Amino acid sequence: MYKFAFFTLFLLLPWAVLLSQGPPIFTDTPIMLGLEGGGVRTFGKYVKKENTKIYIQPIALPFNLRANWQIGAILPFIGKWPRDAQGYFGLGDVKVFSKYQLHAWNGKGKTFRTLVKLVQSFPSGKEPLGSDRWTTSLGLASGLINLKYGLYANLNYQRSSGPNPDKLTYNLALAYPLLPQQYPPKQLNIYLEFNGSYVFGLQQNAYFLSPGLQWIQGRKFLIETGLQIPLREDVVENVRTRFAFLFGLRALLF
C-alpha cells in the first residue's frame, strides 16, 4: 500500500509542479496539460491611453488533440471610448491557433519544454474595433520549471496583409511560488514579466514591465491579475499607453 501511494505521488508530482506554477499571465507557456480535453480562458483587460480607454474581453477555447498538439480559437470582445467621441463595443478580429510541442525534458520535480505556435487572425471586427487586415504569426515558446521557480521566453514574428509592416514580439517571465508545494495544487504565484515589440519599417519599439499575481485552487481553476507599465513606446504621443490592467480566470472543462 505504501509503495503504491509513493508510486502514485511520483507520477502526479510533475503535474502538481506544472499546475502549481501555472502559466504566465502575459507570456505564452510551453506547457500543454497531457490530457485529451479542452478548457476556457477569459479575462478583462483595461488599457488607458492618452486619448482613448480600451476594454478587451477575449474568450480563448483551447482543445488538446493529443498531449503534444493543441488547437483553439480566440473570440475578442472589445470596447473603445475615444476622448470626446462616441464609444464602441463589439467583436474584434477572431483568431485561430495551433500549438505543437517540439520537445519535453522531464527530471525529478522539473521540466524544460519548447513548442511552436501558429496564429491566424481574420478581419472580422468592424472599424474601429478590428484591424481590417489578415495577420499570420509564427513563434516559439520555451519554459524551464522546477519546484523553486519558472522561467519562460517567447519569440513571435507577425506578417500582415497589404502595406502593413511586419512585427516582432518577445516576452520573458519569471514565476516564483510563495507556498509549499502540495497536491492537489493550492498556490500563490508572483510573476515579473517583460513584454517587448518591434515594428519593421516604422522602426517602432515598445517595452512593458508587467508584475502580476496568480492564485491556483485545485487542478482545474485559477485566477490571476497583472499590471503592464510602459517603459518605452515609440508612437504618436496622444496614443501612448499610460498603463494596462488585467484580471481573469482559467478553467479546465474536460
Query: pLDDT for 39-49, tens place per residue?
Result: 788 889 999 99
> Sign of dihedral through CA atoms 61, 29, 71, 136?
positive
pLDDT tens digit sequence for 168-207: 999 999 999 999 888 788 899 999 999 999 999 899 999 9
pTM across the whole model: 0.88
Nearest to 76 by CA among 97, 62, 93, 61: 93
For residue 143, the tally of other CB atoms under 10 A from its CB is: 25
Q: What CATH code is carried by the domain that includes residue 246?
A: 2.40.160.40
Domain range enclosing 55: 2-252
- What value does the mean pLDDT take over residues 108-129? 92
Which value, to the nearest 10 degrees, does the dihedral of the CA atoms of residues 65, 70, 73, 77 take?
A: 130
Q: At 2, is the pLDDT very low, low, confident or very high (cuts 50, 70, 90)?
A: very low
Q: How many domains does the chain have?
A: 1
In whole angstroms, what is the distance from residue 247 CA to residue 189 CA? 15
Closest CA to 69 of 29, 22, 35: 35
